[in-house]
Amino acid sequence: MAQRREQGTDDPRPGRVPLESVLAVFDERDDLARPLTATDVMESLDCSRRTAHNKLNELVEEDVLKTRKVGSRSRVWWIPITDDTAAGGSPGDADAIPETAVGEIDLPGTGKTLEARKDALVASYEYLKEYPEAKKSDFLQDVFPEHPAEYETAEGWWNAIQPALAKLPGVDPPAEREHVWHFLGG
């Protein structure tokens, strides 16, 4: 240890990557909406893949970053967009979808059925906020089972939810022949 201090560092573990350095990689992106991979962090900080994964996962545990598996062996991380960050503020918890926005959406049904469908719409919106890049199959797998909204099939559910979801603030539906929904904040 004495030798390390003689080399001009007070840290007994030279080469250690602080969490602030990992967050700086996110801040230095040209496209702030693009999620990063462990390889992006590893290359930017000149650290090992294991170190990049450990630091990214530590930031997920601290609820600073979100992560999602995007392939059999691939994962991405991002800083969640909240109402505060979309307005240029600091990260924090976003408000729920405005009730007026849900009330203005035309969903089929009345009474309890309509309420269940509004709940499914809100759950879909919250899912997209948590995973700002999601495919139809993600909604069908992760949202539909817990919020079937009295639909017998996932396809019927999606045919009602999808056009309503596209009308909500901050939602960017896929362009023609594309499959990925985006949450842009707001």
- Residue 92: pLDDT over 90: no
The CATH number given to whatever domain includes residue 118 is 1.10.10
Do 116 and 152 lie in a common domain?
Answer: yes
Confidence (pLDDT) at 142: 95
Confidence (pLDDT) at 83: 53
Q: How far apart are CA 1 and CA 177, in angstroms?
A: 60
| Contact in structure between 172 and 182 (CB atoms under 8 Å) | yes
Do 99 and 42 lie in a common domain?
Answer: no
Pick the last residue of a domain from 34, 51, 79. Answer: 79
Do 90 and 59 lie in a common domain?
Answer: no
Average pLDDT over residues 32-61: 90
Confidence (pLDDT) at 56: 92
Pick the last residue of a domain from 64, 79, 94. Answer: 79
Pick the last residue of a domain from 62, 79, 96. Answer: 79
Do 59 and 95 lie in a common domain?
Answer: no
Q: Which domain holds residue 155?
A: 86-183
- Residue 156: pLDDT over 90: yes
If residue 53 lies in a helix (H) or strand (E), which one and from where to where? helix 49-61
Q: How far apart are CA 90 and CA 71, in angstroms?
A: 31
The CATH number given to whatever domain includes residue 62 is 1.10.10.10
